[in-house]
Structure 1
Amino acid sequence: MTEGARRPLRADARRNREKILAAAVRVFATEGLDAHLERIAKEAGVGSATLYRNFPTREALVEAVYRNEVAQLCDAVPALLAAQPPFAALRAWTRLFLDYVTAKYGMIDALRAIAATGGDPYGHSREMIQAALGALMEACAAAGAIRTDIGPADLAAALEGIALTSGGRERRQQAERLLDLTLDGLKVRP
């Protein structure tokens, strides 16, 4: 059965999958990608068989963690826009983006290895991130807060550059200053 044709997971199976993904993020962040999968299962409160039923290989788990993190990042947009003025929501989302990229530093080699074997761990992540930025930027433009001559692809490229050059935990303050500089450059000038 293809992935698109799978039946929806039962509620308990969905909860177990979510617990495994959350535990994998924590364990990979502290122990690296060589962490034992049994450690992840224990952290998630499930048996090893449950982990392997959901993720038959380490690569499948890494890819699922990556895709889940991208989805969570992009799914944060509506809540941010509902809770804050558009420019504040954009600013908050850029911090979430930085957190997301910083957390993925430890996974980059595994993601590259998956891509080298023909897998596509990045899938639609670039499009998803640009769509999330597009929604934020449209709300900001409608509020008259930002220029309209800069598009989501441009801002995404700037954010990626900031994250790659100064997104590590030890350089977080510099990254935040660069984010502020970039966002200030988007503001409409009188």
Structure 2
Amino acid sequence: MPRADAQRNIDALLAAAKEEFAEHGVEVGVRSIAARAGVGTATLYRHFPLRSDLIAGVFRREIDDVTAQAARLAESHEPFEALALWAQRYTEFVATKHGLGSALRSGEPAYSGLRDYFESNAGPALGHLLDAAAKAGAIRGGIDPIELIGAIANLSVPPPGSADTSRASRMVGLLLDGLRYGAAPAA
């Protein structure tokens, strides 16, 4: 476990990198990230020697946030509303990752376990939301969480030549409405 001051620097760097990646893509300069975090570039490189380490760190942090969000929503909302709110959060997660997809497919060693990490964390979290919504009679049962995650991700990518981020929300809303077809009444 890093010292408290080192952890603060890591947290600041990951938050700054997330914002810079969302605004400018993953090829943004490290000086911009360090400046936004309020640290020097030497601090950035001490914690994240390679750009791929920083990208992987941001991605893992986002996976953790998306996963934790599922549990928080399940506690505070009705099952279908929790599912819909989680899908919206995941849509935002995908939509703000300019260039991240191609970076993750680059073969860099830092990215090797991210897909498994994502599926083993976000998959069960979404599975719980799906099960609760099906049990409540809000959606049909038997929906594979990883397949739904893939469908949401595909719908979240803007069409070529477009930057219309509102489209993703509308398309995911239609997808979720389709899950209601064939729902069994609550027991």
- Give the shorter-chain TM-score range: 0.7 to 0.9
Please list every run of 5 or more consecutive structure 2 residues that lacks an aligned counterpart in the other structure. none
Q: Does 1:142 align with 2:135?
A: yes
CA 91–18 in structure 1, closer or farther in 2 if over 3 Å, else same: same
Q: 2:94 touches 2:156 (CA, 8 Å); kept in 1? A: yes
Give me the identity figure in percent: 37
Tell me which residue corresponds to 1:66. Answer: 59
Q: 1:167 touches 1:175 (CA, 8 Å); kept in 2? A: no
Corresponding residue SS for 1:56: coil
CA deviation map 1:12-51 (0-9, x unaligned): 2212111100100111222332322122111101122221
User: What RMSD in Å do the two structures reach over aligned CA positions?
Assistant: 2.4
Tell me which residue corresponds to 1:102. Answer: 95
Q: Residues 22-41 of structure 1: matches in 2 within 5 Å?
A: 22-41=15-34
- Of 141-150 and 44-53, deviating more is 141-150
Deviation for aligned residue 1:84: 1.2
Q: Does 1:184 align with 2:177?
A: yes
CA deviation map 1:49-75 (0-9, x unaligned): 221111011111111111111111111
Q: 2:10 touches 2:47 (CA, 8 Å); kept in 1? A: yes
Q: TM-score, normalised on structure 1?
A: 0.84
Question: Distance in 2 between the 1:147 and 1:31 partners?
Answer: 40
Question: Distance in 2 between the 1:57 and 1:118 partners?
Answer: 9
Tell me which residue corresponds to 1:57. Answer: 50
CA deviation map 1:69-117 (0-9, x unaligned): 111111111111122111101101111111101111322232222x256
CA 169–78 in structure 1, closer or farther in 2 if over 3 Å, else same: farther
Tell me which residue corresponds to 1:170. Answer: 163
Question: Distance in 2 between the 1:110 and 1:154 partners?
Answer: 22
Q: Does 1:16 align with 2:9?
A: yes
Corresponding residue SS for 1:171: coil
Corresponding residue SS for 1:104: coil
- Of 53-62 and 103-112, deviating more is 103-112
One-letter amino acid of the counterpart of residue 183, structure 1 = L
Tell me which residue corresponds to 2:126. Answer: 133
